[in-house]
Amino acid sequence: MDKKNETGSRGENVGIGEYKTGITKISSIGLGSCVAFILYDRKLKTGGLVHVMLPDSNGKSERPGKFADTAVPLLVLEMEKRGSSRRSLSAYLVGGASMFQQFKGNLDIGKRNVCALREHLIELRIPIESEDIGGTSGRSVNFFPEDGGKITVRRADGKCYEL
């Protein structure tokens, strides 16, 4: 379900399991244990964002943006279609909170999402430039490819900052 972001100054929001690529603002709101996985190409000033919900697809092929193991290759392919090379890509991760502190270990979906994304990025040799992950507070993120790849984060506790 590709909804490419080509025009419009307001940008577009990416929901769970969705992704967008483009040069204008891309947002994702309500990230709890989900992770906004962002790729940015500094040379082309283009980028993409996918809203990852779970670490492993277990072979499911529908909604590849929903799972870390399918979202990483999906977004890399979409960026390559836009002219990017893997060597020019930088990754950013936002989210992965532990929303329910009583659940630890294997049930900490946020931590598992982040670990899975990191593993897939290491395999593809795409560096993680910066991240804002973990904790117990949800987040929303705005990504501005045309503005040098600026990323702003708003936490559920009201704190706002640039990544």
Distance CA 143, CA 163 (A): 10
The amino acid sitting at 86 is R
Catalytic residue, candidates 14, 26, 31, 34? 34
Q: How far apart are the first and last CA of the chain?
A: 27
Active site residue 34: yes
Q: What are phi and psi of 89, to 5 degrees?
A: -95, 140
- CB neighbours of 80 closer than 8 A, spacing ≥ 6? 86
The amino acid sitting at 58 is N
Edge-first strand order for the sheet with 139-144 is 12-13, 26-31, 139-144, 150-155, 160-162
Residues with catalytic annotation? 34
